[in-house]
Amino acid sequence: IRISLSHEKEPLGTAGPLALARDLLAEDGEPFFVLNSDVICEFPFAALARFHRHHGGEGSLAVTRVEEPAKYGVVVSEPETGRICRFVEKPRVFVSNKINAGLYIFSPGILRRIQLRPTSIEKEIFPAMAQDGQLYAMELQGFWMDIGQPKDFLTGMCMYLQALRAQHPERLHSGPGIVGNVLVDPSAKVGANCIIGPNVTIGAGVVVEDGVRIKRCTVLKGARIRSHSWLESCIVGWSCSVGQWVRMENVTVLGEDVIVNDELYLNGANVLPHKSIAESVPEPRIIM
Amino acid sequence: MLKAVILIGGPQKGTRFRPLSFEVPKPLFPVAGVPMVQHHIEACAKVPGMKEILLMGFYQPHEALGRFLVSAQQEFKIPIRYLQEYAALGTGGGIYHFRDQILSGGPEAFFVLNADVCSEFPLQEMLDFWQQHGNVHSFVMLGTTANRTQALNYGCIVANTDTHEVLHYVEKPSTFVSEIINCGIYLFTPAIFQHIGDVFQRNQQELVLCPYLGEESSNGWLRAEVIRLEQDVFTALAGSGKLYVYKTDGFWSQIKSAGSAIYASRLYLNQYSQCHPERLAQNKPGGPIIRGNVYIHPTASVDSTAVDHTCVLNTIVGWDSTIGRWARVEGTPSDPNPNDPYAKIDSETLFRDGRLTPSITILGCSVTIPAEVVILNSIVLPHKELSRSYKNQIIL
């Protein structure tokens, strides 16, 4: 598959980059997908394409149902056709529980609406398209998560693993000391008397020493977790070294190449790369 | 011949030591592996000429106390008796009340030691100093150096730099007086009872003059017998040529709060490493890894597979408590500033700005900590079974 790179010299917002790549996108006159990279879901491309061709409008966007719609922008659409009537940003009273999932498919005609300048597709392009009756919403099936924040990243990870259990259970790890949905790279090593999971992903070349308990974490490539440590809801960055008898919890995030000394307690610590941690962090804070 | 009196207080005193003092009286709480006052007794028994040790306090006769007296006598081969005050009579009132017992047998001098201090106990040096400087009817107080701010929490001693005579004494002043502080360890001669008796007479006269200072008459009679050595006797003796201070640089600390018990433990364990290395645990192949000074009771077993990945730091774990696997039990040490050679342990208040001051974590007796939780800077009262993590709390 051909992969092309369109590079913005200045940030062009969420619509401007489409104008920048105009030639690549309109090349064959076929509709094209647009995705936000910090969204994770089951990516129903085929269903979305079918939906888009069926209604014949200029654009389709995926919507997902959330529990707290007021945190996002909600989409109000006609129930039978899915035609979008309007958008409401962070409504104070309940309007709808469907929000923009950040996954679109457009016909090339949309490029007429977008100029080459910093432009927000949600604020400037979509409302006009909705006014013209050219924008339709398709409800997403399956999981969806905006994983831009570490806390939400871990939630999204759990959702992803759960979907994997339903669709490709053979890819998940099993064995002594593995609990629930756990993904372990074949090159990683897990020691004796560990309990890993539920909801853990272990990257390539990771070494987990004896007697370690890990729950709801992502451990990135090359990291080492030394013996007797206990981790819950953490993201351990590439090549980190976590000492013995360490306790890390509450969305502690270690950047690349962070060293955590033995016997420390990290509670909600956000540690920037290449730091060495020699003291406990009992309350959430950022270590620069 | 010599004697020693150890003041052990009673249940109403030493309440800052709770909840550790719920199970055993504070003077019997183990510090560096043995009851707090055993360190005093060992030091006294070593002094040649020591004929009897008297424990004095107002605890009711107590099974643990009784058993301790029996075993201590057997170990140190010296008579040890418990004299029970009928009420809290103060640091001076008790010895005055029992002066006949103390003076029976005709000791030329006797030591008085507070039980709630941890010290190198330079008793022989105090004796030598007393004999050498000339005045056989004088009394000696053990002093040590504190830093200027912390000295205000103790009894402050101003002394002549050549003769070491105490010129001025003030208990817990509000402004700086001196860096030399009272260690709570004294060497008295029988003449001390004359001075305490004077205080007693004065108290009685005051009562005659103002009998109804808002208290009932039965308490009033008791008030005359309550005599504090520090405020009532030493303050008056200062400048009279009868009171001297022997300054020591050896280790010394008060043991008021639970946190100070851990610090005192460290001081004694350090002493063991120099004078009694056989008392410390040694690294053995296949056994637990020993780092630094560690005391393991002969009947304790440390089994690395059973301990199961727990991390216990700066904590006192009470009798019969259990800690689940991967649990973390942690306190904050309140040790004195290691960069200041004269810094003493702070006797912090329990709360500061409405929050619990971070300190040693204490698990009372028979506390159950479940697996995988964190207990941080908390005090757990006896017989609690916890079900979740706790931080900076007192769990009743």
Give the DSSP per-residue string, chain A. --------SS--BTTHHHHHTHHHHHTTS--EEEE-TTEEE---HHHHHHHHHHH--SEEEEEEE-S-GGGSEEEEE-TTT-BEEEEEES-SS---SEEEEEEEEE-GGGGGG--SS-B-IIIIIHHHHHHTT-EEEEEPPS-EEE-SSHHHHHHHHHHHHHHHHHH-GGGS--STTB-SSEEE-TT-EE-TT-EE-SSEEE-TT-EE-TT-EEES-EE-TT-EE-TT-EEESEEEPTT-EE-TT-EEESSEEE-TT-EE-TT-EEESEEE-TT-EE-S-B-S-EEE-
Q: Quote ipTM for the complex.
A: 0.75
pLDDT in tens, A39-81: 999 999 999 999 999 999 999 999 999 888 877 779 999 988 9
Answer yes or no: is pLDDT of B44 > 80: yes
Q: Per-residue confidence at B98, pLDDT binned at 50, 70, 90?
A: very high
Q: What are the chain B neighbours of A227 within 8 Å (beta carbons)?
A: 309
Answer yes or no: is pLDDT of B327 > 80: yes
Answer yes or no: is pLDDT of B210 > 70: no
Q: Per-residue confidence at A32, pLDDT binned at 50, 70, 90?
A: very high
Q: Is the Cβ pair B326, A263 closer than 8 Å?
A: no
Q: Is the Cβ pair B309, A211 closer than 8 Å?
A: yes
**What letter does residue B60 receive in the DSSP assignment?**
P
Residue A213 exposure: Cα atoms within 13 Å on the Cβ side:
18
User: Quick one: pLDDT at residue A63?
Assistant: 95
Q: Is the Cβ pair B374, A249 closer than 8 Å?
A: yes
User: Quick one: pLDDT at residue B303?
Assistant: 65
Buried b (16+ CB within 10 A) or exposed e, B210-234: eeeeeeeeeebebebbbbbbbbbbb
User: Quick one: pLDDT at residue B305?
Assistant: 55
The mean per-residue pLDDT over the stretch A160-180 comes to 94
User: Quick one: pLDDT at residue B222?
Assistant: 62
Chain A's closest residue to B325, CA to CA, is: A228
The mean per-residue pLDDT over the stretch B296-308 comes to 68
Both structure tokens of A130: 């909705």
pLDDT above 70 covers a percentage of chain A that reads: 100
Mutate to test the interface with B, among A260, A265, A280, A283 (most CBs of B within 10 A): A265
pLDDT in tens, A83-136: 999 988 777 888 888 999 999 999 999 999 999 999 999 889 999 999 999 999
Answer yes or no: is pLDDT of B251 > 80: yes
pLDDT in tens, A236-274: 999 999 999 999 999 999 999 999 999 999 999 999 999
Strand, coil or helix: what is A126?
Answer: helix
User: Quick one: pLDDT at residue B59?
Assistant: 92
Q: Per-residue confidence at B357, pLDDT binned at 50, 70, 90?
A: confident
| Residue B126, H or E segment | helix B123-132
Whole-angstrom Cα distance, residue B308 to residue B160? 59
Q: Is the Cβ pair A282, B391 closer than 8 Å?
A: yes
The mean per-residue pLDDT over the stretch A180-207 comes to 96
Cβ–Cβ contact B328 with A under 8 A: yes
Phi-psi region of A263 (alpha: psi -120 to 50; beta: other; left: phi over 0): left
The mean per-residue pLDDT over the stretch B98-107 comes to 95
Mutate to test the interface with A, among B304, B311, B312, B375 (most CBs of A within 10 A): B311
Answer yes or no: is pLDDT of A174 > 60: yes
User: Quick one: pLDDT at residue B344?
Assistant: 86
Answer yes or no: is pLDDT of B216 > 70: no
Q: Per-residue confidence at B220, pLDDT binned at 50, 70, 90?
A: low
Q: Per-residue confidence at B295, pLDDT binned at 50, 70, 90?
A: confident
Minimal Cα–Cα distance from B389 to chain A, Å? Answer: 12
Cβ–Cβ contact B137 with A under 8 A: no
Answer yes or no: is pLDDT of B215 > 80: no
The mean per-residue pLDDT over the stretch B93-121 comes to 95
Q: Is the Cβ pair A265, B330 closer than 8 Å?
A: yes
CA A209 to chain centre: 29
Whole-angstrom Cα distance, residue B40 to residue B117? 9
A and B: number of Cβ contacts within 8 A: 28
Answer yes or no: is pLDDT of B217 > 70: no
Minimal Cα–Cα distance from A146 to chain B, Å? Answer: 30
Average pLDDT, chain A: 94
Answer yes or no: is pLDDT of B218 > 60: no
User: Quick one: pLDDT at residue B379?
Assistant: 92
Q: Is the Cβ pair A265, B372 closer than 8 Å?
A: no
Cβ–Cβ contact A198 with B under 8 A: no
Cβ–Cβ contact A89 with B under 8 A: no
Answer yes or no: is pLDDT of B136 > 90: no
Q: Which positions 363-392 of B are in contact with A (Cβ < 8 Å)? A: 372, 374, 376, 391
pLDDT in tens, A217-226: 999 999 999 9
Average pLDDT, chain B: 88
User: Quick one: pLDDT at residue B213?
Assistant: 54
Q: Per-residue confidence at B349, pLDDT binned at 50, 70, 90?
A: confident
Both structure tokens of A129: 């398209």
Q: Indicate the residue type of A194.
A: C
User: Quick one: pLDDT at residue A196?
Assistant: 96
Chain A's closest residue to B372, CA to CA, is: A230
The mean per-residue pLDDT over the stretch B285-309 comes to 73
Answer yes or no: is pLDDT of A18 > 90: yes
